[in-house]
Amino acid sequence: MDLRPLGRSGLNVSALGLGCMSMTSGYGPAADHTAMIALLRDAVEQGVTLFDTAQVYGPFANERLVGEALAPVRSRVVIASKFGFDVDLVSGENRGGLNSRPAHIRACVDGMLKRLHTDTIDLLYQHRVDPDVPIEDVAGTVRDLIAEGKVRFFGLSEAGVQTIRRAHAVQPVTALQSEYSLWWREPEAEFFPVLEELGIGFVPFSPLGRGFLTGAITEHTTFDANDFRHNIPRLTADNRRANRGVVELVQQVASRVQVTPAQVALAWLLAKRPWIVPIPGTTKPHRLRENLAAANLLLPQDDLAELDQGSAALTIHGARYVDRLQAQVDR
């Protein structure tokens, strides 16, 4: 798989990374541990070099899984993890708030290094911006961790433009991670200009619209009680029905090009900028192969224009988070 630069940081990664959250949390019960170890190692053999995890996924379980799976191939991969939620570092209890106090960041990183079986975290993100801690203090702490060799590069997740600028002035930001797909295109106007200006890469999560853009989710789909999509306003049955137009748009292009809707949605993202690296997640080997094939799919300009214009003309119904989680998105 071709490599892509995350901005002008010097960090190059595979054109598609792998989001690992769903292997242990978020989308229902944790998947089989042995099967996920095999999936992660298979991803490496297929050319994936960027693996995305976080302290809060589990908590801790996802980092342990990723660390165990990638330990034998550590020199071939880039591991990204995140701090920022108020997780008890002994019990693992997620207390639901945010915590980016410098001492907590340091303690988080020490735990991450052990769970990930590594001496350094390649890309360390602040998972959510903590309004109670100046971003300069956060960036300064990560700068010091980089100087100590515990971290290589600094990232932000769901951060607003002014926060990005302030952080970047203290410690250069390598990547911004936020939601971006054919049914959430807000980053184009809001973030792309500043990312281009500052030389920051963009790592879209949920590039397949939490599965909706694949066409596999309809208004009749029932989510597991432990699946966080169960509570997302945009994915209520009524809104799934109302948002069907974006799925039909992707399916129309996929049918004409003779690929899958998921491949069209990912290829569209890759065509937007050379410093965009989506991280679709999966627990299924055949979906992994399907997604990664999109890295080699060059959609004709007419099809890209149809996707651009068609999605821009649609009204997307429903918020992407419940109110409590939406309040944690920086603006």
CATH code assigned at 133: 3.20.20.100
> How many whole angstroms separate alpha carbon 84 and alpha carbon 127?
5
> How many whole angstroms separate alpha carbon 18 and alpha carbon 103?
30
**pLDDT number for residue 194:** 98
Alpha-carbon separation of residue 146 from 119, 120, 131, 153 (angstroms): 12, 9, 23, 7
Give SS3 for 28: coil
Top pLDDT among 204 and 226 is at 204
Kindly state the average pLDDT of the residues 309-329: 94
Sheet holding 50-52, edge to edge: 18-19, 50-52, 78-83, 121-126, 151-157, 173-179, 201-205
Catalytic residue among 27, 57, 125, 180: 57
Q: Flag whether 301 is in a domain.
A: yes
**pLDDT number for residue 132:** 97
**pLDDT number for residue 226:** 87
Nearest to 31 by CA among 231, 287, 283: 283
Q: Any catalytic annotation for residue 180?
A: no
Number of domains in the chain: 1
User: In terms of residue numbers, what domain contains 212?
Assistant: 3-326
Please, what's the b/e burial string for 172-182 (b: 16 or more CB within 10 A of its CB; e: otherwise)? bbbbbbbbbbb
Ramachandran angles phi, psi of 325, nearest 5°: -80, -35
Q: Flag whether 254 is in a domain.
A: yes
Q: Flag whether 331 is in a domain.
A: no
**pLDDT number for residue 272:** 98
Answer whether residue 225 shows pLDDT above 90: no
Span of 69-73, 127-131, 145-149, 322-326 with lowest mean pLDDT: 322-326
Q: Flag whether 75 is in a domain.
A: yes
Kindly state the average pLDDT of the residues 31-41: 98
